Structure 1
Amino acid sequence: MHFLRSAIFSLLAGTSLARPGSQDKISTAKQARAAGYALKEPPLTTPWTDKVGTDPWPEYPRPQMQRSQWQNLNGVWQYQNASSLAAVQNPPFGQDLAQDVLIPSCLESGLSGVQGEYMIYSWFSTSFKVPKDWHGQSILLNFGAVDYEATVFVNGKKAGFHRGGYFRFTLDVTSFLKPGQQNELLVFVHDPTDDGDYVIPIGKQTHRPSHIFYTPCSGIWQSVWIEAAPQNHVSGLDIDGNMEGQVNMTVHTSSANITTSVQVVVHDGENVVATYRGPTNQPFQFKVDSPKLWSPSSPNLYNITVTLGKDQVQSYTGFRTISKGTVDGVVRPLLNGEFIFMFGTLDQGFWPDGIYTAPTKEAMVYDLQMLKSLGFNMVRKHIKVEPELFYRACDELGLLVIQDMPALRPIQSRTLPNCTSQTILPNAAQQAEFSRQLEVLVNQHKSFPSIATWIIYNEGWGQLTDYYPEFELTDRVKQLDPTRLVDSTTGWYDHGAGDFSDNHHYANPQCGTPFYSTSSSPYDDTRIGFQGEFGGIGNNVSIEHLWNNQNAINTINQTYEIDITLDAWNYRSHLLLSELQDQVRLFSCSGGVWTQTTDVEGEVNGLMTYDRRLSRVDEDQWKADIQGLYDAAAARSNGTMSS
């Protein structure tokens, strides 16, 4: 067995990570956390399960717009099931709910203390007191993400509604509060997932988990916090720094129809490198001289202070330019004007103890540090959106991110009255909602330097067939964010939209090659040749490292290939990576995505097991093979470049 060595995780100055190893005892996950709340034993634990406690995720959740006056509302709340959507009309104000629940968490997870099934309608409650020194300011209530619809009540009055399971939202609750007293916060959540005729962005969540589709996540699964700000305050920041040192910026405010002045100060460590005063609620530009560029090999970041009247927020950016161009006759992705071979893993972002919610920030970053230590320069965030601290970690580590839009209800069908089968696809209203949420994804995440590419559709899941919506969606994404590439359809069905000619093939690659399989599309030399997924080879392990659910275990043999031993698994991995290297050297391959970072439930094809306790990789071999890909790409592209 090959275990990750602790030395490979010293990647950031001042950052260390306790490595789970063979000496660790497998957690029984039975320790009580506090009176009324207890962790439920999940089918599998991680080394962080017993470290969560009742003060989860204490970090400030929004790294690109931080305020000093804030209060974390995470911890033990109350929860009870609701019978239907109509329950929202009769809120249980002033009542104790049925049981305690840990926030943030997925109701289906052991960490929640509930670990339920079919959690479609739910009530959550807590109370909070506003600090006295916040008097006279606006009090903003923030949710990192609630899956799927949230109706929020404060002190018996409806404060707001939000739809979309992956995106943060903010409510100004000042007018609902009782100064100096406890304030009741009540949240009704409706999460249909793939129930009935709902077609919504769900990624790989399903009420019927099987092999590549997993346990769903319902409820308040990211952090909740309040903060104080002046009545006219910064409500959003769009920041892009390019390789020429130009900063393109928009400072959005709560008074969106009023244009006033805002001051921006850019810091390189202790040194101020630029100061600029610009207008609010409209784009402006200024220059930083000779910036240190951001890249995977040198992830330089600059801190930014934004001051609007009495409101001050902290942010940051990295200077880099992402584009495409023709290098030695081949269309390539470019970072700072040079071809970069993007190579990473398919990263599902699932956890056996928390489902969608990593047990701790340390646990979440552990996965990324493992990838970086092996030499990967990219991660494909697969049909899920992570907490914003994930992207901050990628910015700091120097990991490019290919960000998927969470897929609409994937490859499910219904039986019609005439006994024929019909693929479940979105109707016009559902497609419009998908388009709206795609825009939210881009707008909320386009300031993270590490994000290099947006993916709209994965393998045709939820992709309409009577017309090609990816063309108009690609155009819209390019309008919202002209600074990145767009992979319109990763895998299939590719009709020519976007910047990538993206092939999925298991187990061996077909990247930018003059051959392909009928499930994918032939390489289009007017776009970037990319291996959107390959690998996927599996190696079964003993029960203490498996998701201990019999239905999941029964699907292990659906894996594309099972290698009996770790030596065989590493041998096969080496052959597949060598084959990809040949395609880089001989043809037009510009990057690839290996399936996958970790096992998930009934899948056993991860670099690590689902509990993160066992690594399958022969580190030296993998490091050499990954470096070989970069070397082959460099040798293949030593010719001339044109944009």
Structure 2
Amino acid sequence: MKKIIFVGVLFFSLCGCNEKSKYEMAPSPMVTPFAQSVDTEMPFPEYPRPQMERDEWMNLNGLWDYTVKSIDFEPVQGLTKAPSWTTGELPSDWAGKILVPFAIDAPLSGVGRILRHNEVLWYQRTFNIPSSWERKNVLLHFSASDWETSVYINGEKIGQHRGGYDPFSFDITPHLKKGKNNLHVCVWDATENQSQAIGKQIMPENRQGFRYQPTGGIWQTVWLEPVAENSIENIKIIPDYDASAVRVNVKTRGEEGTLLVQVWKNGQLVAENAGDAGNVVDVPMNNFEAWTPSNPVLYDLKLFLKKEKETVDEVKSYFGMRKVEVKRAADGYQRIHMNDEPLFQYGPLDQGYWPDGVLTPPGEEAIKFDLQYLKDIGCNMVRVHIKTHPARWYYHADRLGLLVWQDMICMPKYGQTVDAAAASQWYTEFKAMVDWLYNHPSIVMWVVFNEGWSQHNTEFYTNWIDNYDSTRIINCASGWDDYPVGDVMDVHDYTFYPRNNAADFKMNGQRALVIGEAAGINLAIPGHTWYSEKNKPEQDRHENYIPADNYSFKEESGRHTYGSAEVLQEAYGKFIETIRCLNSGSGCDAMVYTQITDVEHELNGYLTYDRKVSKIEKETMRKINTGLYSPPTLTSVVDFASGWKTGTKKNIQLPVGEKNEFIPVNSVMEFPVEIEKSFNISEIPEKMTVAVKGFTDCEIKINGEFFRKTRMNARWGEPGIQLFPFFDDELSYLKAGENNISIKTIGNSELDLIDVAVFHY
């Protein structure tokens, strides 16, 4: 077993490097601790498909020959009309060795070279088929390869796949020979130079906004598997929580036969049933234990395909008994329920990037580290953001009890056209992703689009996936362009005091209200940043590794870069307390924090990009986050729609502002306005919060003391709601007896509207 040895950390190169026969990790500005454990003879030795496992298989990861050849592709709008860019003559010369399954762009590949749109990447290796496989069909599996991949066995092209984030396979049996077999793979990836699903990949010279390094070529495990002529091709597992049963449906190769399904737990057989392999087999699950984040019980599944009582194929799988749905909760809000219980969901955005592996984690321990860290700090959810992970990542989420929001991978954010061919290909990849990940109990939500990035035919795709998979929550669009479909209404808000939608106006309150991205507050840890004084960013906006002190918790500071861990911890605690109030006061049912780790120029992670530093101590984070699952009971001090006075002492009834289609206005007035109200409290409460609803920014004073300057950030013409907790030092503004709250509206919005309430808790 050979492990990677580091001499030092160098900077990443955008052009070819290390083109030689001996493997060395390519230069990188940062390295995770897990890179040192990568076995260069057999990286990722674990079984790659835990949801459908057989005993026999062969891992093809390791050092392959590679070379890069030029092609005449020119950037296009929409999808290329060429049927293939990876059909061609096999190379006779090789540039060096590449460590599969790391993409050529990744330092761990040993190459560290950007694959361009006018290039193809060729791979070569040989393999021998064991004699015990000779009477079986042999499948060649690619867990993921980005984007167009053609496969050649012994000089003959045997298949092509398009799509960078889903697994695919070929039956190579007719093309094999005894002894040594030659495998060639050719990959082309246009990235943003055509309309293809790329997520956040972009070429360095075109980088805009929050996008990162591209990934070209094979980036997940490649492996061989022998199967019988009559065998199980795939499995669909449907836990029926209400009926206390699990339904198993298989697709077979060859004749269907009989399917025996056994359910096991802790080594004991607990249930079984048999039926025709072409039909659904229902297995009763009497007195089952439900799968939840706090108790992620997994049942083992053994499937036996029989032909005339002889077992011709056997596979192992697993499942969890759980259901997830949106329905009215006791507090009157539409909420996401798991197993009939409302469950607030909190966790980070997971970009799924690594400084040394890019889209590929350095190994199994790296996967487990990220997910266990989230459990340790009190998260119960993670949003996989416009990418997919290796299948073993989802297995560990299942095992640990982390809820997963899975995004479909978007096409380019800027500069592309979604033509009919691109839309059709994207739809094909969307369905392939859902089919592949369907059986994982941890996945509770499909996110169709993100922030309008290449968004198209939203209602069609949302209704399709809602019908195709009725076991999960559907999110039509996380942030920005919302449509009246799906199960949740999702906003993004990176203000320090994020807004929730005041209601689900488009669907008359049928959907749960969630915040799909928020926070993004920064802290640079010296020695643990991608950019530094020695490695300056090309764009000024990426210099957020420089801290700033011009912040105030009384005014909106947005995605601030704090100067110390102590101030970051204070800010984080205040932010989480705000979300607790937003849950109780507006029905905010989930919140996605940006993000689990720093990524390249972004410094808003719980962890640094190299995974070496938790910016807030884990136990402290857990104590802060745990409060989210016990939201406060808010008691009204000042109700919404109550009587106030204007600056001229005129009595008015809130809401005040312009007439609008969402919230009836009790007092029509031209803005800006100044209003005030007296309220009485018998004693100073432990906690208090001010709620502001509408479109309009304002300044709030309590007994003449400046309390908060707000930024409503109401987008797309729908009113929002914000809650502003009193922090410990601000409770001194209050007094037993009569108090005064005054509001001055500021700025302009699409519509003028404001309503205010005060609660203690």
| TM-score relative to the length of structure 1 | 0.87
CA distance in 1, matches of 2:279, 2:125: 38
Superposition deviation, residue 545 in structure 1: 3.5
Assess if the C-alpha contact under 8 Å between 1:200 and 1:430 holds in 2. Answer: yes
What is the aligned-residue identity percentage? 32
Superposition deviation, residue 36 in structure 1: 1.9
- Paired residue for 1:592? 591
CA distance in 2, matches of 1:480, 1:61: 26
Aligned length: 587
Assess if the C-alpha contact under 8 Å between 1:570 and 1:618 holds in 2. Answer: no
Q: Output aligned runs, 1:53-64, within 5 Å.
A: 53-54=39-40, 55-64=42-51
Q: Output aligned runs, 1:263-342, within 5 Å.
A: 263-309=260-306, 310-328=312-330, 329-342=332-345
- Paired residue for 2:651? none
Q: Which residue of 99, 112, 119 maps to 2:96? A: 99
- Paired residue for 1:603? 602
- Paired residue for 2:615? 616
**Deviation per residue, 1:370-408 (Å, 9 max, x gap):** 111011000000001000000000000010000000111
The 3 A distance-change label for structure 1 pair 523 and 343 is farther
SS of residue paired to 1:111? helix
Larger gyration radius, structure 1 or structure 2: 2
CA distance in 2, matches of 1:512, 1:544: 34
Superposition deviation, residue 134 in structure 1: 1.1
- What amino acid does structure 2 have at the position aligned with 1:477? I
- Paired residue for 2:478? 490
Superposition CA RMSD, Å: 2.4
CA distance in 1, matches of 2:49, 2:365: 17
CA distance in 2, matches of 1:509, 1:588: 15
SS of residue paired to 1:542? coil
Superposition deviation, residue 210 in structure 1: 4.5
Superposition deviation, residue 26 in structure 1: 9.5
Q: Output aligned runs, 1:12-161, within 5 Å.
A: 28=9, 36-54=22-40, 55-84=42-71, 88-92=86-90, 95-120=92-117, 121-161=120-160
The 3 A distance-change label for structure 1 pair 124 and 524 is farther
2:492 maps to 1:500: no
Assess if the C-alpha contact under 8 Å between 2:90 and 2:155 holds in 1. Answer: no
**Deviation per residue, 1:198-222 (Å, 9 max, x gap):** 1111110001335510001111000
Return the structure number with greater relative CO, CA threshold 8 A, min gap 6. 1
Q: Which residue of 393, 401, 411 maps to 1:390? A: 393
- Paired residue for 2:541? 555
CA distance in 1, matches of 2:20, 2:274: 50
2:372 maps to 1:373: no
**Deviation per residue, 1:431-466 (Å, 9 max, x gap):** 1211121111111111000000000000000013xx
2:467 maps to 1:479: yes
CA distance in 2, matches of 1:434, 1:448: 22
- Paired residue for 1:202? 198
> Which deviates the most, 238-247 or 153-162?
238-247
- Paired residue for 1:217? 215
Assess if the C-alpha contact under 8 Å between 2:584 and 2:633 holds in 1. Answer: no
- Paired residue for 1:564? 563
Q: Which residue of 411, 417, 427 maps to 2:419? A: 427
Superposition deviation, residue 88 in structure 1: 3.7
- Paired residue for 2:675? none
2:437 maps to 1:445: yes
- Paired residue for 1:350? 353
The 3 A distance-change label for structure 1 pair 586 and 544 is closer
SS of residue paired to 1:632? coil
- What amino acid does structure 1 have at the position aligned with 2:522? G
- Paired residue for 1:540? 524
Assess if the C-alpha contact under 8 Å between 2:21 and 2:96 holds in 1. Answer: no
CA distance in 1, matches of 2:279, 2:632: 41
CA distance in 1, matches of 2:482, 2:580: 24
**Deviation per residue, 1:47-89 (Å, 9 max, x gap):** 1122213121000100001111101000000110021168744
- What amino acid does structure 2 have at the position aligned with 1:320? R
**Deviation per residue, 1:309-353 (Å, 9 max, x gap):** 321111000110111110122111110111011111001110000
Assess if the C-alpha contact under 8 Å between 2:86 and 2:149 holds in 1. Answer: no
Assess if the C-alpha contact under 8 Å between 1:545 and 1:609 holds in 2. Answer: yes
Assess if the C-alpha contact under 8 Å between 2:528 and 2:609 holds in 1. Answer: no
Assess if the C-alpha contact under 8 Å between 1:345 and 1:380 holds in 2. Answer: yes
- Paired residue for 2:175? 176
Superposition deviation, residue 27 in structure 1: 5.5
CA distance in 2, matches of 1:27, 1:522: 56
- What amino acid does structure 2 have at the position aligned with 1:463? Q
Superposition deviation, residue 633 in structure 1: 7.3
- Contiguous gaps of at least 5 residues in structure 1: 1-24, 414-423, 637-643
- What amino acid does structure 1 have at the position aligned with 2:183? L
Assess if the C-alpha contact under 8 Å between 2:503 and 2:509 holds in 1. Answer: no
2:627 maps to 1:628: yes
Assess if the C-alpha contact under 8 Å between 2:348 and 2:595 holds in 1. Answer: yes
Assess if the C-alpha contact under 8 Å between 1:205 and 1:213 holds in 2. Answer: yes
- Paired residue for 2:231? 233
- Paired residue for 1:186? 184
**Deviation per residue, 1:265-291 (Å, 9 max, x gap):** 110111111111122244332211111
Superposition deviation, residue 98 in structure 1: 1.8
CA distance in 2, matches of 1:88, 1:584: 52
The 3 A distance-change label for structure 1 pair 214 and 506 is same
Superposition deviation, residue 620 in structure 1: 3.9
Assess if the C-alpha contact under 8 Å between 2:249 and 2:277 holds in 1. Answer: yes
The 3 A distance-change label for structure 1 pair 547 and 26 is farther
The 3 A distance-change label for structure 1 pair 212 and 524 is farther
- What amino acid does structure 1 have at the position aligned with 2:478? T
SS of residue paired to 1:186? strand
The 3 A distance-change label for structure 1 pair 529 and 87 is closer
CA distance in 1, matches of 2:508, 2:575: 23
Q: Which residue of 512, 519, 537 maps to 1:528? A: 512
> Which deviates the most, 236-245 or 401-410?
236-245
- Paired residue for 2:682? none
Assess if the C-alpha contact under 8 Å between 1:105 and 1:354 holds in 2. Answer: yes
- Paired residue for 1:22? none
SS of residue paired to 1:392? helix
> Which deviates the most, 305-314 or 368-377?
305-314
SS of residue paired to 2:575? helix
CA distance in 2, matches of 1:50, 1:29: 15
> Which deviates the most, 573-582 or 202-211?
202-211
Superposition deviation, residue 37 in structure 1: 1.6
- Paired residue for 1:243? 241
- Paired residue for 2:654? none
- Paired residue for 2:696? none
CA distance in 1, matches of 2:508, 2:542: 35
- Paired residue for 2:676? none
CA distance in 2, matches of 1:501, 1:111: 40
CA distance in 2, matches of 1:515, 1:346: 24
- Contiguous gaps of at least 5 residues in structure 2: 1-5, 12-17, 74-83, 307-311, 545-557, 636-761
